[in-house]
Every structure is written in C-alpha cells, then in structure tokens.
Amino acid sequence: MSAPSSVLTVILNWRTPEMTLKAAQAAAREMAQLEGQIVIVDNDSGDGSFEQIRDAVAAADWAQGRIEVVQSGHNGGFGAGNNFGMRHGLAQRRFDYIYILNSDAFPDAGSIAALVDHLDQTPECGFAGSYIHGEDQTPHITAFRFPSVWSELEGAARIGLITRLFARHVVPLPMPSATTRVDWLAGASMMIRRQVLEDIGLFDETFFLYFEETDLCLRARRAGWHVDYVRASEVTHIGSVSTGMKNWQRMPQYWFDSRQHYFRKNHGTPYAVAATVAHVLGSLLWKLRRAVGRKPRRDPEYFLRDLIAHAIRMRPSAPGASDAKTPALPPIEEAVK
C-alpha cells in the first residue's frame, strides 16, 4: 500500500493579515487529515503584517505546529512570492503536490482533499483547480482558454456577431458543471503536481501580476501535462483584495507589461504586435457601438491610449533572446535534508 500523497500549501500575504489568517485557518482545517504543511509568505508588506501573522499563528490552537510564516524580503509580485514559498517548503521535504491558495480564498469542506484525489487518480494531470464562488455563492469564472489574436479582438469588441464568429477563441469558458479539461486556471485555488515544476520550472518572475498562471499552464501543456477544473472542490473567494482591481480607475503599467511579455515570450514579437492591433481594432468597434447604442463605459480610463503607448515603447528582441526569469526547483538530492 502506497503512502498518502503529501501537500505543501503556499499562501501569499501582502497587507491583508486578518484575511490571510482566515485563509490559513480554513486550509489548516481541510488539511487536518492530509499529510503536509502550510507556508505563509509575507511578500515584504512593510506594514507589520509579518509580525502579526507570525504571532497569531504561534498562539493559535488550529495551527497545530504545521504552519510556518516566512518573509520574502522583496515584493517581486505574485509569482516571485509563491516561488519563494515553494522553494522554502520543498527545501525541507519532497512534497507530492503544491497547493497555491490566495489570501482571500477560503477552502470549503473537502475542497483540498478533492484536488488531491483527482491528481492521485489522473496521472497525466499536472494542475487541478477549484470551483470558485463568492460569499453570496455567486460562481466566479476561473476556467479559461489561452489568449490569442482572435480572443483579443473578440474580448475588446464585445459585439455578439464577433463573439459568435470567434466562439472557439473566447477566453472565459462557460461555467463547467462537472470536472473537465481546460487550458488554464486562475491561481486562487490551484494544486500543482511537483513533477510538473521539476519539468518546466516555477512561475516566470518577469510577470509581476497577471498572466503568470496562464504562462505556467501553457508551459505545462507544451510539456505534455493537462490542466483540469475539478467541480467537487469548492472554495469561497472574495477577490482582488490585495490588488484593488475592483477599484481601478486606470489600468496599472504592470498589467500591460505582463500582457506584452506573455505574447512575446510564448508566440514571438510579431504575434504580440498582431494581438495589440486586434485589441485596438476591437476597442474602436466597441467605441463605435457605445456611441451608437449609448452603452456604458467598461474599460478603465485612458485604457486604449495606454495600450497603444505601451506597444509603441515595446523594446525589440534580439533573435532567440528571452527576458524570462523562470527559476528551477533545486535538485531533489539538494532539496531534501
């Protein structure tokens, strides 16, 4: 009889200590019957979060000595912070799976075990993600197709005819009612087979925020691994607490940087240019539709202007050059003490 699979859970905190502790407590409850450990990474919050979380965990009965709180020392973004936690945990023992959990996501009953069971039973699956819902039980869209030139046009235009023409390229998938294979998953609740990270490396730290999960799942797909949405795993998610995305008045520079890097890295500079041209064309069609139909403004202020300005400033790449920063896992013989 084989030993039960082990799980390293990584929770990244940035200035949300109370919420991070709530997520950790929910994860600890769900991992009580599983073999594993939780690592909370404070991503250099600089507001006392690290000390507050560390002291609360030390005093909490629910932590049961299975939670470690560490300080990254540098806010390199979502991918870099999670990489820090994964490398820290895997330097101590060889976990089978790594579970990435947002600080504003709270695993429901049986959710983590459902992801473990799916990976145990599906050896070709490299990633397993949860059904995410809000506190009011409203489903969140977290299963997607990979972005493309055509998806950029469709997503920007928001015109029914264009959406029907390019239905196979629409990035958000219809809400799955059962476990199904997808292109990529949002990283709010995502379990990764350790072997995948040994094969392809960790998150690309060039991405500060956004597109890092998309890139990781695409690299896994190209290496022969599958990504599955597991309906039986349910997680409550508030969303955009650390990033403040819900209140954005203007799209931040790092979103444009991440989008550009994703297309250039994975498809080349000409494709990235074509994707931006498609997005601009779609945006102009949407502006025309707004003018005719008196539709409300949906994009952040100056979005199209910022997109074009960012594309104009795009640095040319030398043939074969890559500015990706994709750390590898340490060799197993070095990682296990």
Cα–Cα distance between 249 and 273 in angstroms, integer?
25
CA-based radius of gyration for the chain = 20
Cα–Cα distance between 97 and 314 in angstroms, integer?
37
- Give pLDDT, residue 223: 98
Cα–Cα distance between 76 and 325 in angstroms, integer?
11
Domain 6-146+183-240: assigned CATH number: 3.90.550.10
- Comparing C-alpha atoms, which of 89, 90, 83, 95 is closest to residue 69? 89
Enumerate residue ranges in the chain where pLDDT < 50.
242, 318-321, 333-337
- Give pLDDT, residue 337: 42
Phi, psi of 318 (to 5 degrees): -70, 150
**Structural domain boundaries of the chain?**
6-146+183-240, 247-312
Amino acid occupying residue 210: Y
Rounded to 5°, the CA angle 76-78-81 comes to 60
Q: Global pTM?
A: 0.93
- Comparing C-alpha atoms, which of 204, 218, 244, 213 is closest to residue 142? 213
- Give pLDDT, residue 318: 46
- Comparing C-alpha atoms, which of 194, 14, 21, 176 is closest to residue 99? 194
Cα–Cα distance between 284 and 31 in angstroms, integer?
49
Residues 6+ apart with CB under 8 A from 323: 206, 261, 265, 317
Cα–Cα distance between 111 and 27 in angstroms, integer?
9
Strand partners, 333: none
User: SS3 sequence, the chain?
Assistant: CCCCCEEEEEEEECCCHHHHHHHHHHHHHHCCCCEEEEEEEECCCCCCHHHHHHHHHHHCHHHCCCEEEEECCCCCCHHHHHHHHHHHHHCCCCCCEEEEECCCEEECCCHHHHHHHHHHHCCCEEEEEEEEECCCCCEECCEECCCCHHHHHHHHHCCHHHHHHCHHHCCECCCCCCCEEECEECCCEEEEEHHHHHHHCCCCCCCCCCCHHHHHHHHHHHCCCEEEEEEEEEEEECCCCCCCHHHCCCCCHHHHHHHHHHHHHHHCHHHHHHHHHHHHHHHHHHHHHHHHHCCCCCCCCCHHHHHHHHHHCCCCCCCCCCCCCCCCCCCHHHHCC
Using DSSP bridges, classify how beta strands 180-182 and 226-237 pair: parallel, antiparallel or unpaired: antiparallel
Residues in the chain: 337
